[in-house]
Structure 1
Amino acid sequence: MLKSPITRLGGKSRLRKNIIEIIPEHTCYVELFFGAGWVYFGKEPSKVEVINDIDKELINLFKMMKYHAPEIERMLEYEFSGRDIFEEYKNVTIENLTEINRAVRFLYLITQSFAGRGNNYGYGSTRQPSQQIFHKEVLSAIKERLRNTYVENLSFEKIIDKYDSENSFFFCDPPYFETAGYGFEFGEKEHLLLRDKLSKLNGKFLLTINDHEKVREWYKDFNIRELEVNYTVSKEQKARGKYKELIIYNY
């Protein structure tokens, strides 16, 4: 079971075992909102796999890891975690970078920042800096995992239209409802559009989302499983603790 090369707010590292255990039989596996890809990297490869995200820098990262992993490994070989390096990557003009340079920049900022947000340098007196991006074997394993995967950068509704079939399975981990920190607009309108598209699928889907009364109403006709997850990544003590999350599926 591979670890994701990046950490992101709302990532499924704590839930992926529960999710993987109930994935149904399928031919085509599709992730509509890839994020850190914890479920994709944790499960056994499917015959056909698709990963999609609207974040162009995230998708560029995985494209470059798929096609140019040796060069990314070379560029990171002598890199280390440093505040000055972090600030240089953060403030560089992206338009002046190659796709490979953009991938290295994005990977560095996400892994060396607080909570994987890419905004503030992550440090602490009780933990070591994130090391996974500096190990060749990690990047090589991820490259192999991506070898037979389609990497898309489209809206979720276009991906559903392109890949839906009776043998398709869609794992959906959208931005949580009425929460902040994602950097992309995804409000009630978008959530309802997603619900409507999933309701008309020929294939199967599994959706993970925060427990909210509106969400329960939207998906009342589907199977809903409630889980409790402990979140500790927050500067504020009051934001830490156990939260209820929902796993919703149509099979």
Structure 2
Amino acid sequence: MTMGGLWPRLRLKLLCWTSCPKGARLFPAVSAITLIIPGKGALGMMLEQVTRPALRYHGGKFRLAAWIIKFFPPHRVYVEPFGGGASLLLRKSRVYAEIYNDLDDELVNVFSVLRNRGDELLEALKLTPFARAEFDLSYEISTCPVEQARRTIVRSFMGFGSAAASGKRTGFRANSNRSHTTPAYDWKNYPDALPVIIERLRGVIVENRDAAEVIQQHDSEETLIYADPPYVLSTRSLRGGIKSYTAHTGYKYEMSDDEHRALAKLLHSVSGMVVLSGYSSKLYEHELYAKWERFEKQSMADGAKPRTEIVWINPACSEALHAASGLFGAYRG
């Protein structure tokens, strides 16, 4: 079947969505249409984009997502073994199989609830005021998955910095002197952004396992692994540039240098394509990923501190990008 033969059917489907009688109930969000091309599988084309992150999460890449996605070659299976706030997953086009994984069971609960009970969570969040009492309550554990997801999200958006989502104690964001909107006004608009996120997560496999197990299970030549592990400890700093190895840990589960070495050994052995995020360090630059292609971009970290984010891609990813560059354009930039 030619592309020309697909468009009449596609146009009819779009007309069905756009010409319903006034007041008719539609799906909460239409996030993608899928074109099935013989021999090529499913090609996801985003119609409505996710416009804000599901969580404010330490090391989250939501603002960098468009740049990082440039390094994603065509793939059939997508794996985020260190899922965190799922910023890349939420902003990329859907593929045949997608796996979100994280060791932090609170994060996993949030995305499981968004996927399976999103409407309940959305209603609960609409009724949640931006209040110190709600923020204080959010540190208490609930046995109800929906309520616990609500509390994790509250903690994430009402706490200073990005570490609150991981359970770190922070102050309440009651500031009223920002140059743009206040945190309270941002919170008011948050529920409006959720329907697209909920729809995007449907069909995603959500795991709470060791990253290595997930990588090994889903590895294939058609798999893209986006690895965004906790930053190497020696690259951390507090305000003012003071190095900190223990005081500024924004993740619930950290990684030692030896654990980074074990991850690198695994990533060097896979059959799939790998895109890796991190900060510059002797460990990564000279020991673990010296032979991988490397790209960098200036970004703003917590506290509006400029940092250089780096992406490394393995040889399989480089080859796939070069092979696809005639169709998808250059990926450097």
TM-score by length of 1: 0.90
Task: Tell me the equivalent position of 2:144.
Answer: 98
Q: Deviations 1:215-241 (Å, cap 9, x if unpaired)?
A: 11210121111222233x32xxxxx53
Which stretch shifts more, 115-124 or 155-164?
A: 115-124
User: Per-residue deviation at 1:186?
Assistant: 0.7
> Kindly tell me: are residues 16 and 55 of structure 1, through their superposed partners in 2, closer, same or farther at Cα, counting changes over 3 Å?
same
Moved more, 134-143 or 49-58: 134-143
Deviations 1:175-210 (A, max 9, x none): 100133223231101111110110001100000000
Please tell me whether the aligned partners of residues 31 and 170 of structure 1 are also in contact (alpha carbons under 8 angstroms).
yes
Q: 1:248 matched to which residue of 2?
A: 312
Matching of residues 133-152 of structure 1 within 5 Å:
135-152=190-207
Say which of 84, 93, 97 aligns to 1:35: 84
Structure 1 moving runs of 4+ over 3 Å: 130-137
Please say which structure displays the higher CA radius of gyration.
2
- Code of the aligned partner of 2:182: Q
Q: Pairwise mapping of residues 19-30 of structure 1 onto structure 2 (< 5 A)?
A: 19-30=68-79
Letter in 2 for 1:59: V
Tell me how far apart the structure 2 counterparts of residues 135 and 229 of structure 1 sit (CA, whole Å).
24
* Residues 6 and 110, structure 1, Cα contact 8 Å, conserved in 2: yes
Which residue of structure 2 lines up, in the alignment, with residue 84 of structure 1? 133
Normalising by structure 2, report the TM-score: 0.69
Q: 1:227 — aligned with what?
A: 297
- The answer to whether 1:186 aligns with 2:237 is no
Give the partner amino acid of 1:112.
M
Aligned to 1:215: 284
**Cross-structure match for 1:237:** none
Matched residue count = 242
1:110-129 equivalences in 2 (<5 Å) = 110-118=156-164, 119-120=169-170, 121-124=172-175, 125-126=177-178, 127-129=181-183
1:134 Cα deviation after fit? 5.9
- Structure 1 residue 47 displacement after superposition: 1.6
Question: Retained in 2: the 8 A contact 1:177–1:210?
Answer: yes
Residue of structure 2 in register with 1:205 after alignment: 274
Looking at structure 1, the residues matched to 285 and 188 of structure 2 have their Cα atoms a distance apart, in angstroms, of 39
TM-aligned CA distance change 1:182 to 1:135, over 3 Å: closer
Query: What's the RMSD between the two structures over aligned residues?
Result: 1.7
Whether the aligned pair in 2 keeps the contact of 1:72 and 1:100 (CA below 8 Å) is yes
**Match for 1:54: what amino acid?**
L
Change (3 A) 1:128 1:141: same
Any idea what the Cα deviations from partners look like across 1:6-44, whole Å, max 9, x if unmatched? 111211123211111120111001111111121111111
- Answer whether contact 1:79 1:134 (CA < 8 A) is retained: no
The Cα shift of 1:136 comes to: 4.1
Q: Percent of aligned positions with the same letter in both sequences?
A: 26
Q: Check the 8 A contact 2:75/2:224 in 1, yes or no.
A: yes
* Structure 1, unaligned runs of 5 or more: 235-239
Alignment of 1:170 onto 2:225: yes
